Structure 1
Amino acid sequence: MTDTTRAEQPVTEAEFAALKDRVAAWVTGPGEEWAERIETTGEVPEELWAELRGHGFLRMAAPVEYGGFGLTFPQWMELMEVFSRSHGSTRMIVHVVNGIWRAMDPFADEEQRKKFVLPAISGDIKIAFTLTEPGNGTGADITSTVVREGDTYYLTGHKHLITFGVRCDYYLLAARVDGTTGHEGTVALLVPRHAEGVHAEDTSRTMGVTGTDHAEIRFDRTPVPVAHRLGREGEGLDVALGGFLTPSRISVGMSCVGLAQRAQELALDYAERRVSFGKALSRRQAVQFMLAENAADIEAAKHLVLHAARRFEEGGDDASMLSSMAKMTAVSMLTRVTDNALQVHGGLGYWKTSPIERVYRDARAQRFEEGTNEIQKTVVFRELTRLRTQPADAATAQGGAK
C-alpha cells in the first residue's frame, strides 16, 4: 500500500478519537474481565480471539483494501498504547496479528496474498513468527536448513520461544538452503503447523503474560511446497528482519508505554487511598518524587516511540536505528516505572490479589521480546556507523509502511 492510497482515505480526527474511545472502553470493561479469567485458568481461550476478531481489533493496522482501518502507523501506535494497558496476552494477540502481514505482504505474489496475507488479517488463520533457535542468535547464524527436491523443500531444524507455536495454522519460518552461509541462501517459508515431521512441544509456563502459548519445535524433513516461499532464495532474512522486526520493535516500545501508564494509574490510585500515620501516601514527598519521575519517564519514552513510528511511516533511512532506540529506552523506562509502582504499594503489591503484581510480571517479558537491550544497542551502533559513513536522504522511501 502506498502513501498516496493512505492519503486518499484518511481517518479524520473525530473518527480516530471515537475509535480510541471504543478501544479504551473495551480494555477497561470486557478486557479486564478477560484478564481475571486468564489469570484464574492460566489459559487464553479461543473465545477471546473470536471476540477480538469480531470487534475488528485484529485487522486495525491493515490497509483499507485489505479490510483494515486505513490508520497511519503513528495512529496505530496510539491504539497499541491503549491495548497494552490490558492483560499481556491480549496485547500479544493484537500486536502480533496486526503486524505479521507487514512481513509477508511486500514479498507475496497474488496467490500467496489470497492464501496467507488476507486470511491472516481477517483472523481466519493464525501465523506464528518463527525465527529464534536454541544455541544461535536470531539472524544470519540460523542453522535450520532446507533441501529442494522438485517443487518441494524438505525442512530440518529446531526453533524455540515461538509465540503461538502451539495453536497456529502456519509458521512464518526462516531457514537456509543446505550448504549456504550468512544471508546467502536464506528462505522465508510458510510451513503448515500439522505437516509431516513437525513436532511441537508446549512450553507455555512463563513468569508473566499468562496464557500466551509458546512452543519449541523440531522439523524432521518436513515437506513444504516451494509455492509457500515468500520472495526469492536469499531473501529469507529480509522478510524476517526487515518486514517485521522494525515496526514490531516500535510496537513493543509503545506496549511498554501503555503498560507503564497502567502501573502509574494503579500507583496513583493506591497512594491517594492508602493512609499511614494519619496521612495519605500521596502527601509524602518520597512517594510524590517517585510518581513524578514515573510521569516524566513515560512521557519521554512515548515521544521517542512516536518519533520512530513517524520515521517508519515516512520510509526514513534511520527507522531501524530509531526502532531499536525506542524499544531499549521504553523497556528501561518500564522497568523503573513498574518497580516504583510496586514500591508504592508496599508489601500488599506483592500479592496476586493486587493488580500491580500482574503488571509487574508482564512488564519483565518486554525485556526479551523482539531482542534484548543488548541486541538493540548493537543495532543502534551499527546503524550509527552506517549513517555516518553513508549520509541518507531523509526523504528516501525505504522500509515504509505497506
Structure 2
Amino acid sequence: MSLDGRGSALPEAEYEQLKSDVDAWVRGPGEAWAERIEASGEVPEELWTELKEHGFLSLAAPVELGGRGLSFVQWMGLMEIFSRSHASVRMIVHVVNGTWRAMNPFANEAQRDRFIKPSVAGDIKVAFTLTEPGNGTGADITSTVRREGDTYYLTGRKHLITFGVRCDYWLLFARLEGSTGKHGTVALLVDRHAPGATVIDTSETMGVRGTDHAELVFADTPVPVANRLGEEGEGLAVALGGFLTPSRISVAMSCVGLAERAQELAVEYALRRVTFGKQLAERQAIAFQIAENEADIEAAKALVLHAAEQWQEGRETASALSSMAKMTAVDMLTRVTDKALQVHGGLGYWKTQTIERVYRDARAQRFEEGTNEIQKTVVARDVFRRAAVKESK
C-alpha cells in the first residue's frame, strides 16, 4: 500500500471526466449551497452527505483505503476547481482528503479499519487538533497526558480547531506529563464525547462562513492507549511529518482556485458594466488590472504545480518549495481579490455580489498551515543550509 498516496494515478480520460464532473457540481449545486450557507451561516449535514455520495471526500486516498487513487498532482487539479466554490466546501474536501495522510503511516491495521477507512469513506469526521491558545503549534505544545495502565488522561486546551464541534474524533497532539521537546509528544484519537472534554463553539469568523471551529478544554479526559497513533515520542512526526508539506501545497492551490474565481467575476463584470457609453473592459485602467491578475495567477499556479510534482516524486526540495508556493500564492490571492473587488466599484462592497464573499474568504488561507512569516523562516533556513553544505565541499 502507498502510505502517502504518491504512487498511483487515474487514467487520463477518466481523470478528465472527473474534472468535468467536479466543475459541473461546483458551478451548479455548489453555487446553490453557497447561497444557502451564506444566508444561514451554517453548513447543513446534508452537504456533507452530498459530497460523500458524489465520492468527493475520498478522492485523494489510495484505493486500498477506499479512495479513488488519484496522484497528488491530479488531486491538486481538483483542489483548484473545488476552491472556486464556497470556502466551506473547499475546507471540507481539503481536510477530509488530507487528514488520512497524517494518520496512515503510523496506524496499525486495526486502526486503519476503525478510523482511517471510515474517515476516507466520509462515515466519521476527524478534526486535526494541534493549535493551542497560549503557545505555538510545534514542540512547545503544553497539553499533557499521564498514563495509567491502558488509559491516558488528557489535560489542556486547544483552539481554532476546524470541525472541532461536529467531528467524531479529534486527532489530538499532546505531550507526556513531565516531558519537554518533540520526544515527549503523542498523537491520540480522542472521542468527541469523552468525559472531561468541554467544547466551545467559536464559529463566528470573517469568512469561510458555516465551517465550525472550536475551542477545547480537557480535564482528565480518558483516552485508550489503543487510540494512540505511532509510539510515544512520535506525536509531532504524525502531526508534521508526511502531512504538512502536501497540506501546504493544497492550501496554496486553493489560493489559485479562489483567485481564478475572483478574476472570472471581475472579467464578467467588466464586460457587462457600461459607463459613459463604454464597457469597463475597454478602459485601459481596468484592462491593465485584469492583465496583472492573469499573470499573477499563472505564475503562482506554476510554482504550486512544481512543488506538487516535487513532493509526488519524493524530492528533498519539496518541503521548502511547499512554503515558497504557499507564501507566493497567498500574496497573489490578496492582490487579485483586491483588484477584482476594485473592478466592481462600490457595488462590490455589497453582500449581493459574489465578489464580496470571495474577498472575505480570501483572508483565511493567510494563516492555514502557518503564516507567511513561518513560511519565510522555513525557506530562509533551507537557503542557508544549502549554502553551508555547498561551502563545506
- Length-normalised TM-score, structure 1: 0.95
Q: Does 1:73 align with 2:72?
A: yes
Query: Residue in 2 aligned with 1:219?
Result: 218
**Alpha-carbon distance, 1:200 to partner:** 0.5
Whether the 8 Å contact between 2:119 and 2:125 is mirrored in structure 1 is yes
**Alpha-carbon distance, 1:270 to partner:** 0.1
Whether the 8 Å contact between 2:9 and 2:74 is mirrored in structure 1 is no
| Residues in 1 aligned to 2:321 and 2:4: alpha-carbon distance in whole angstroms | 24
**Alpha-carbon distance, 1:6 to partner:** 7.0
| Residues in 1 aligned to 2:57 and 2:196: alpha-carbon distance in whole angstroms | 30
SS at match of 1:287: helix
SS at match of 2:344: helix
Once the two structures are superposed, the pairs formed by residues 90-239 of structure 1 within 5 Å of their partners are 90-239=89-238
Query: Residue in 1 aligned with 2:17?
Result: 18
Question: What does the per-residue CA deviation read over 1:311-337, in whole Å, with 9 as the maximum and x for residues that have no partner?
Answer: 111111121111111111000000000
Once the two structures are superposed, the pairs formed by residues 53-68 of structure 1 within 5 Å of their partners are 53-68=52-67
Query: Residue in 2 aligned with 1:370?
Result: 369
| Residues in 2 aligned to 1:4 and 1:343: alpha-carbon distance in whole angstroms | 42
Once the two structures are superposed, the pairs formed by residues 171-320 of structure 1 within 5 Å of their partners are 171-320=170-319
Query: Residue in 2 aligned with 1:396?
Result: none
- Paired letter, 2:99: I
Whether the 8 Å contact between 2:4 and 2:242 is mirrored in structure 1 is no
| Residues in 2 aligned to 1:305 and 1:280: alpha-carbon distance in whole angstroms | 34
Whether the 8 Å contact between 1:119 and 1:125 is mirrored in structure 2 is yes
| Residues in 1 aligned to 2:351 and 2:85: alpha-carbon distance in whole angstroms | 16
**Alpha-carbon distance, 1:233 to partner:** 1.1
SS at match of 1:161: strand
| Gap change, CA 1:220 and 1:352, over 3 Å in 2 | same
Whether the 8 Å contact between 1:208 and 1:361 is mirrored in structure 2 is yes
Whether the 8 Å contact between 1:298 and 1:333 is mirrored in structure 2 is yes
**Alpha-carbon distance, 1:385 to partner:** 2.9
- Paired letter, 2:41: G
| Residues in 1 aligned to 2:359 and 2:157: alpha-carbon distance in whole angstroms | 31
Query: Residue in 2 aligned with 1:395?
Result: none
Query: Over aligned residues, Cα RMSD in angstroms?
Result: 1.4
SS at match of 1:200: strand
| Residues in 2 aligned to 1:379 and 1:238: alpha-carbon distance in whole angstroms | 17
| Residues in 1 aligned to 2:48 and 2:124: alpha-carbon distance in whole angstroms | 11
**Alpha-carbon distance, 1:69 to partner:** 1.3
- Paired letter, 1:208: G
- Paired letter, 1:215: A
- What is the identity percentage for the equivalent residue pairs of Structure 1 and Structure 2? 73
Structure 1: tracts of 5 or more residues without a match: 392-402
**Alpha-carbon distance, 1:383 to partner:** 2.5
Q: Does 1:33 align with 2:38?
A: no
Q: Does 1:351 align with 2:350?
A: yes
- Length-normalised TM-score, structure 2: 0.97
- Paired letter, 2:245: T
**Alpha-carbon distance, 1:94 to partner:** 0.3
Query: Residue in 2 aligned with 1:383?
Result: 382
SS at match of 1:337: helix
- Count residues in correspondence: 390
Question: What does the per-residue CA deviation read over 1:333-353, in whole Å, with 9 as the maximum and x for residues that have no partner?
Answer: 000000000000000000000
**Alpha-carbon distance, 1:5 to partner:** 9.4
**Alpha-carbon distance, 1:378 to partner:** 1.1
| Gap change, CA 1:94 and 1:108, over 3 Å in 2 | same
SS at match of 2:243: helix
- Paired letter, 2:175: R
**Alpha-carbon distance, 1:388 to partner:** 3.7
| Residues in 1 aligned to 2:209 and 2:42: alpha-carbon distance in whole angstroms | 7
SS at match of 1:56: coil
Whether the 8 Å contact between 1:104 and 1:243 is mirrored in structure 2 is no
- Paired letter, 1:198: A
Once the two structures are superposed, the pairs formed by residues 2-17 of structure 1 within 5 Å of their partners are 2=2, 10-17=9-16
Question: What does the per-residue CA deviation read over 1:248-294, in whole Å, with 9 as the maximum and x for residues that have no partner?
Answer: 11000000000000000000000001011111100011111111010
| Residues in 2 aligned to 1:93 and 1:384: alpha-carbon distance in whole angstroms | 34
SS at match of 1:57: coil
**Alpha-carbon distance, 1:3 to partner:** 9.5
Query: Residue in 1 aligned with 2:338?
Result: 339
SS at match of 1:243: coil
Question: What does the per-residue CA deviation read over 1:145-177, in whole Å, with 9 as the maximum and x for residues that have no partner?
Answer: 010111111000000000000000000011000
